[in-house]
Amino acid sequence: MTVTVSAPSVEHHRDPIGIGERRPRLSWKISADVPFTQEAYELELDRGDGPRLTRVESAEQVLVPWPGVGLSSRERVSARIRVIGRDGSTSEWSPATLVEAGLLYAEDWSALPAGAAWAEDPDSDDRRPSLVRRGFDVEEGLVRASLYISAHGLYEAELNGSRIGDDALSPGWTVYPQRLRYYTYDVTGLLRPGSNVIGAWLGDGWYRGRLGWRGGFRNVYGTDLSLIAQLELHYADGRIETVATDPSWSAAPSPILRTGIYDGEIYDARDEQAGWSSPGFDDAAWSPVALSSLDHATLVAPTGPPVRSTEEVRPIEVITTPSGATVLDFGQNLVGRIRMHVTGAAGDTVTIRTAEVMQEGGIYTRPLRGALSTDVYTLSGAAGGEEWEPRFTFHGFRYAEVSGWPGDIEAAVAAGDLVARVYHTDLERTGWFESSNPDVNKLHQNIVWGMRGNFVDLPTDCPQRDERVGWTGDIQVFAPTASFLYDVSGMLRGWLRDVAAEQLPDGTVPWYVPVIPSEHMWTPIRPGAAWGDVAVLTPATLFESFGDRAMLDEEFPTAARWVDLVEKLAGDDRLWRQGFQLGDWLDPDAPPDAPAQAKTEKHLVATAYFAWSTAQLAEACAHTARQHEATHYRELAAEVRAAFCGAYVLPDGRMTSDTQTAYALAIAFDLLPDAAARALAGNRLAELVALAGNRISTGFVGTPIVNHALTATGHLDTAYAMLLERECPSWLYQVDMGATTVWERWDSMLPDGTVNPGQMTSFNHYAFGAVADWMHRVVAGISPAAPGYRKILFRPQPGGGLTRAAASHETPYGLASISWTITDGVLTVDTVVPVGTTAVLELDGREPVALGPGRHTATAEPEGVGIRAQSADPRTAVR
């Protein structure tokens, strides 16, 4: 028998270096070639003074408690696991994981924000960023060096001429006054005895750069551009020396002349100072820095991975437009930056303008609104060529217009001298789907690309125009899809802490987080259904996907304040019928310039969400030992459901808003009083879909649930018909129009190939891609039947002419997968169940079948369901 245990993972970190948890929980995955059930585990921790063993009698293997004494700041501990089976067998030790704590307390910090002291116009977008540096000595006997670093703005650090780390846009965007993230780097290998130099590039980023639409706002968080760095040198004799940002640092103008998240970057390589971050450089002309204030208690360690470049994409075509411009087509709407390798004379200038689409004979930038999305590089004339990529910006684009290229650009493209580098939060991919329909597969691929492009440190609405903010409604509806496709547990836990930080004292949850100023309809901040419900529903989704009760417990106060606020707003009749609402935003029948004018009455939507969030909050209370609160919220949810039916469901079963969204909400949110009412609603929903020619007639609220509602009421064929419809508005209309991501509007591109005239016309918006959740759960047939996939439901529901489908998901316990085929009328289902879980297979018309860990094959034939186990080892499942 072979039982293999993975190296333990730590909380929700991909790399547990510089973590902020004193008592981090541990998880591991088990593979076995025969049936194996964990009955106990042994955890070995080595704090540098020898290993210490703890045995725990438990079958738990996900987020188990840290034993003994918690971590101290800077402490490094090696952890490994072995498991004991019910039969008394013991596995080999797992590989060890090194856990390193960051600076856990405010008093651990001495660094202050240090930046250029020269005068600037705070209202200008042309403020020139600075470089900052400091020299220091390292003695013999160095055993370890750790750098803790953040910024007012963005940073990219160097040590002795080498870049530190491979992350980008750090420290990211959080609610800086309350939560300023820092990162930790092990830089021991970059240091040498004697003279050393640390330095950093700085960029405006979200801290002081322009944010928002209609001209936006500058200096939202401050006017300074400063580095916050603390380098700690640990010596063999126990000494710790600290090199922190303080008055001894120097600053100089950067070769970056201008940089902005929206507008791009202007860089003059002639202003480079060779060796500026290395010993021996003469910095006599550099200026002393100015220091800014900082509350060290606001510095927080990351809960998820940083932004990184995860892929490079080369152009598929070089286009010469009718005007003679040169445009590169990368074949994919992506988010990132272009890296160039170029040879030319000093002063030659290359300009790159990006856009998602082409129209009128060139790149079409109107959808970008106020975002210039332009990068400019002036060559130094270096022999052998120059390589450059912007540091502190990102663009959403498929096309790039290149002007001023010195030489043959087609030859340069062929040589790989111009590539797009894809950037997003470096989440672990955990979910896959494919089917026998290539267009459905393309839709799913587009959904994945859209998620990647909108998870750039926080979940945004769009990645290209002058917006890119964390709209709460978008992630609320997309979270089930997101948490299947990627491990978003750490990233979204951090973002939910920002939601809590931005929640108003009365319980109002902002429309977007972090909050930035806005004129027009978003200020003052007002409570709105579906958007504010992120405080309840996204933690519930994360709990379903990852099984983290501590996260659910932590989010309870935010969630409860939201529901309690809505209870007050609704009053004794339990109907939320007051205030500003977005409703079923971007209903396809709404006017292009009035996306909130949906067919479904806004307060019907608001009351439906009030009922659903209250019910979900009751469940969260039950899972976190709040029985009194659970009873209260269950009773409140029942009152709201009754009020909803009384106000919005007519005696004949029709609804006051006779729309797809109204019926979908009533069904999916379990608002109807009995099975008969549910059946009537399902039948009417199916009728409305048929009357619409199977085309979409829902907006942000209805689209994620309409297929689920149809399926739940026995209208699977209609749900498939919607998925496969090709006329606008539909998912496959976008595929037929050449989409490579999901659009903001169903008709962001009109059938004649022109761009929708509305002011909001993004070609990369993930919200309508929430249908992927239905594809995973229904088309392929995999979903969690217990929190964290401790129990798995396999329930494939073939239809739409598909002859096969498959999905796999890397659960907290290991890989679970399902694939089914139909051959000669026989359905064959292959499943993989990871060790530590159980599963149930449900096929229509058959009794459910319990499955244990391993690989299983089932066939559905007239005489019943046949099941055979092929292997207990799920490691060979195909992704």
Q: What is the DSSP string of 567-608?
A: HHHHGGGT----S----STT-TTS-TT-TT--SS-HHHHHHH
User: Is cis: bond before 524, omega within 30 of 0?
Assistant: yes
Question: In angstroms, rounded to a whole number, what is the distance separating the alpha carbons of residues 247 and 290?
Answer: 7
Closest CA to 125 of 51, 64, 216, 57: 216
Instruction: Yes or no: say if 364 and 355 are a contact pair by the CB < 8 Å rule.
Output: yes
Please state the length of the chain.
879
Instruction: Yes or no: say if 758 and 328 are a contact pair by the CB < 8 Å rule.
Output: no
**Hey, what are 663's tokens?**
């019926």
Instruction: Yes or no: say if 536 and 559 are a contact pair by the CB < 8 Å rule.
Output: yes
Question: In angstroms, rounded to a whole number, what is the distance separating the alpha carbons of residues 96 and 100?
Answer: 13
Closest CA to 642 of 602, 610, 600, 603: 610
Amino acid at residue number 805? A
Instruction: Yes or no: say if 682 and 637 are a contact pair by the CB < 8 Å rule.
Output: no
Other CB atoms within 10 A of residue 493 CB: 21
Instruction: Yes or no: say if 169 and 457 are a contact pair by the CB < 8 Å rule.
Output: yes
Question: In angstroms, rounded to a whole number, what is the distance separating the alpha carbons of residues 634 and 618?
Answer: 6
Instruction: Yes or no: say if 464 and 397 are a contact pair by the CB < 8 Å rule.
Output: yes
Distances (CA, A) of 870 to 301, 335, 810, 877: 45, 43, 20, 12
Instruction: Return the H-helix or E-strand segment holding 629.
Output: helix 627-648
**Hey, what are 557's tokens?**
């106060």
Question: In angstroms, rounded to a whole number, what is the distance separating the alpha carbons of residues 494 and 138?
Answer: 36
Question: In angstroms, rounded to a whole number, what is the distance separating the alpha carbons of residues 526 and 381?
Answer: 55
CA atoms within 13 A on the CB side of 407: 15
- The active-site residue, picked from 265, 567, 744, 810, is 744
Instruction: Yes or no: say if 185 and 164 are a contact pair by the CB < 8 Å rule.
Output: yes
**Hey, what are 844's tokens?**
């229509």
Closest CA to 262 of 586, 521, 516, 502: 516
**Hey, what are 216's tokens?**
């936006």
Instruction: Yes or no: say if 611 and 617 are a contact pair by the CB < 8 Å rule.
Output: no
Ramachandran bin of 714, using left for φ above 0, alpha for ψ from -120 to 50, beta for the remaining angles: left
Long-range contacts of 538-541 (CB under 8 A, 24+ apart): 538/475, 538/476, 538/479, 538/492, 538/496, 539/496, 539/620, 540/616, 540/619, 540/620, 541/479, 541/480, 541/483
Question: In angstroms, rounded to a whole number, what is the distance separating the alpha carbons of residues 879 and 139?
Answer: 50
744 is catalytic: yes
Mode of pairing for the β-strands spanning 287-288 and 250-253? antiparallel
Q: For residue 348, what are the contacts with CB-CB under 8 A and spacing of at least 6?
A: 378, 379, 381, 404, 406
Could you write out the three-class secondary structure of 30-89?
Answer: EEECCCCCEEEEEEEEECCCCEEEEEECCCCCCCECCCCCCCCCCCEEEEEEEEEECCCC
Question: C-alpha 474: how far from its chain's center?
Answer: 11
Question: In angstroms, rounded to a whole number, what is the distance separating the alpha carbons of residues 408 and 347?
Answer: 18
- The active-site residue, picked from 386, 467, 555, 567, is 467
Question: In angstroms, rounded to a whole number, what is the distance separating the alpha carbons of residues 719 and 716?
Answer: 5
Residues assigned a catalytic role: 467, 744
